[in-house]
Amino acid sequence: MRESTLNTPLNSPPDMKHTPADASARLRALARAWVHRAYSPFSHRPDAAILLLGDGAWVPGVRVESASYSLEIPSVQNAISTAVALGRRDIVALAMSRPITPEDAAYLGTLPEIALAQVDEALFAATGPLPQVAPEPLSPYLDADTPATSEEGLGIARRLAARAYVPESDFPVACVIETGTGLLVPGVNVEHPTWSRILCAERNALGTLVTYGIQDPETMYLTCTREPGCTPCGACRQLLAELTPEATLWMDSSIPGGRAAHPYELLPEFFTGATLFRTPNPRDTA
Active site residue 168: no
* CA–CA gap between residue 201 and residue 109 (Å, rounded): 22
Name the catalytic one among 202, 218, 227, 269. Answer: 202
Whether the Cβ atoms of residue 138 and residue 59 lie closer than 8 Å to each other: yes
Residue 212 — φ and ψ, nearest 5°? -90, 0
β-bridge partners, 186:
176
| β-pairing verdict for 217-224 and 248-251 | parallel
Q: How far apart are CA 271 and CA 124, in angstroms?
A: 37
Beta-bridge partner residues of 124: 94, 118
Strand order in the sheet with 248-251: 184-188, 173-179, 217-224, 248-251, 259-261
DSSP at 150: H
Query: For 148, how many CA atoms within 13 A lie in the half-sphere containing its CB?
Result: 0
Pairwise CA distance, residues 187 & 203, whole Å: 8
C-alpha angle 178-113-231 in degrees, rounded to nearest 5: 35
Active site residues: 202
